[in-house]
Amino acid sequence: MFQFNTIQKGLKGRNIISTEDLSIPEIKEVLSLAKDMKRNRFSSKFTDVLKHKTFLMFFYNPSVRTRQSFEAAMTELGGHAQFLEPKSMRLKTEKSAGETIEDSAKVMSRYAAGIGIRILEDKITKYGEGDWLIREYAKFADVPVFSMAHDKFHPFQGLADIMGLQEYFDEVKGKKLLMTWAHGALARSWCSIQENLLISSRLGMSINLAHPEGYELDKEVIEKTKKYCEENGQEFKITNEVEKGYNNVNVVYSRNWMSPNAYKNGILQKELEIKKSMKYTKWICDSRKMKYTDNAVFIHPMPVDRGNEVSDEVASGKNSLIYEIAENRLHVQKALLALTMC
């Protein structure tokens, strides 16, 4: 069986709710192991790391890549992933009686080696509620609890993004990232965007953040991003102009996200958010705007809203890393499942 080094051993039993839960040396070790697992994907070196262990996956929201990649990850590590839908379980809510988070977490800890939770947009009544729920499970569980994407953060996506950029550039420090809002028909949460801003700035990237007025992100996340850029001697700029952020950047991340006013009376105003978003037709990443960059690569967490967030020409172009990053979700997940649940 594979032998973990000292830093890697220190991750055993840890919750992963954001990449903020990991130190920079730990992030580097996770990525190093993920790359090793990618190179030696089906090697006997890793196939028994989690032999006979079960990972419980709570999906409040549906998924394509997340379910597929976590199930594949557990299988390739010798374990099993169990798919659960809270709507089919007797869990306590404001409107119904049932099992409390404390009871659920403690019982599930007797069955499994880890618990993953995915809770987004329309399954919460206000921003921050999903983050609270995951942290409540982490408080009572006796096994690691993971965010498989929630309203604030998406740690595995952030790690997959960085892994893809490291594979392309080798070193990301000093590279310039444009994180730009785009119009779209999905009213998406802030989790992937905010996770990328945090980990990219911590690892030394310069950040351009572009969005129309009225699409501001979490103030605490923005302040942390600004602080990390300053600590690394990099720039952090915010613009409300659609093209300004593209100048001389190395990476473009173009994605739709909802406004801070997306919830009203405890309900996500999805159709209203989409209608408002679709008025900003100039906010699309296309080949014309990409010409202002320094031959930048395009990244996106997927699913891609083609024709709104980005043109087909860019999304499927030679500088697109979307499929490489999607694959890397599998490998970073394998690495952290192994490190925390072994």
pLDDT level of residue 64 (50, 70, 90 thresholds):
confident
Domain residue spans of the chain? 6-153+326-341, 158-321
In whole angstroms, what is the distance from residue 88 CA to residue 142 CA? 23
Q: Please name the residues in contact with 36: beta carbons below 8 A apart, sequence gap of 6 or more.
A: none
In whole angstroms, what is the distance from residue 7 CA to residue 257 CA? 35
Which tens digits make up the pLDDT trace of 249-263? 999 999 999 999 999
Q: Do 158-321 and 6-153+326-341 fall under one CATH topology?
A: yes
* φ/ψ bin of 177: left (φ > 0), alpha (ψ from -120 to 50), beta (otherwise): beta
Query: pTM here?
Result: 0.96
Residue 240 CA, distance from chain mean position? 24
- Closest by Cα among 213, 208, 183, 211 to 282: 183
Residue 97: the pLDDT is 62
- Closest by Cα among 269, 303, 332, 248 to 35: 332
- Number of alpha helices (DSSP H) and beta strands (DSSP E) in the chain: 12, 11
Around 276, how many Cα atoms within 13 Å sit in the side-chain half-sphere? 17
CATH fold label, 6-153+326-341: Rossmann fold (3.40.50)
Asked if residues 251 and 299 have their Cβ atoms less than 8 Å apart, the reply is: yes
Residue 102: the pLDDT is 95
- Going edge to edge, which strands form the sheet with 251-255? 236-239, 206-210, 176-181, 251-255, 297-299
Residue 95: the pLDDT is 59
pLDDT at 332 over 90: yes
CATH fold label, 158-321: Rossmann fold (3.40.50)
pLDDT at 167 over 90: yes
Residue 93: the pLDDT is 64
Which tens digits make up the pLDDT trace of 95-139? 566 789 999 999 999 999 999 999 999 999 999 999 999 999 999
